[in-house]
A = this chain, B = another copy of it.
């Protein structure tokens, strides 16, 4: 069982009202890969430039992530700078350096076509679809995206969503894609568009999951201190697929568990800058938080509840 994660590895500069980091290991594929590695074997398909440090590479290797697909291209590693506002729920992108991702054409290393699950982190939908189509018999694939591709490559994105088992979008993206303020309606519209399962990430409020015959919602973890929200959605995706990669059969009950594992991992992600908390996080801490989620969402069933 192996989770393939494809997307951007980047170098980030992040400023919050309380602190600032430079040259931080970042990128959506990075966060997802590190989260997935808590559960299963992970393969990383991404491009970096000649400036990508041995130290950053070692951070990924220490988590036993297979880097055979992490190619070094002539040019610069992608870079991203952002500044968060006081409430941490909104941010300004200060700059984006696309670097080697400008012309990256992902090629699966030999044998990777047999990956059992795959996460296509935000990237051009045609590249995402090519990777999905190169897989022989994946048990689950998930596509994420960002506003940039909703605005600039919508028909291709819709086509790619039809090829994925799960589509992950955040709340504002869901609303934009479906042109409705109702999250429930937006989720239904995405399903009608061909996605088999839709995960709507609600930030601090948790996440909702919709499929043709299921609806599930997980709350956010009640964190008292958020250090840096960057990458929460990607570690959510990595946790979701990482867990699903380990189950015998992907049933609705397993998908619900995966949403909780994903929420637990994402709640740790925001406890540190970039994916730094993922580098120290242990599986037993995730399991403990799973139990906490259960404790603070459980209530008695109706037949227990009536007098």
Contact = CB atoms under 8 A, between A and B. Distances in A.
A239 to B, nearest CB: 13
A112 interface: no
Interface of A: 86-89, 181-185, 187-188, 202, 204-206, 208, 215-220, 222-226, 246-247, 253, 256-257, 259-260, 287, 290-291, 294-302, 305-307
Given A222-B183, A224-B185, A297 B202 contact: no
Contacts of A226: 182
A264 to B, nearest CB: 10
Contacts of A298: 256
A287 B299 contact: no
A260 B305 CA distance: 11
Given A183-B222, A202-B205, 16 more contacts: A86-B181, A87-B181, A182-B225, A182-B226, A184-B224, A205-B206, A215-B296, A216-B296, A217-B297, A253-B299, A253-B300, A256-B300, A257-B299, A257-B300, A287-B306, A297-B299
Contacts of A204: 183
Nearest to A202: B205
The complex is assembled from copies of this chain, and their number is: 2
Contacts of A202: 205
Contact of A219 (B219, B222, B223, B307): B219
A14 B139 CA distance: 50
Contacts of A86: 181
25 contacts: A86-B181, A183-B204, A183-B222, A184-B222, A184-B223, A184-B224, A185-B224, A205-B206, A208-B222, A215-B296, A216-B296, A216-B299, A217-B222, A217-B296, A217-B297, A247-B307, A253-B300, A256-B299, A256-B300, A257-B300, A257-B305, A260-B299, A290-B305, A291-B302, A294-B301
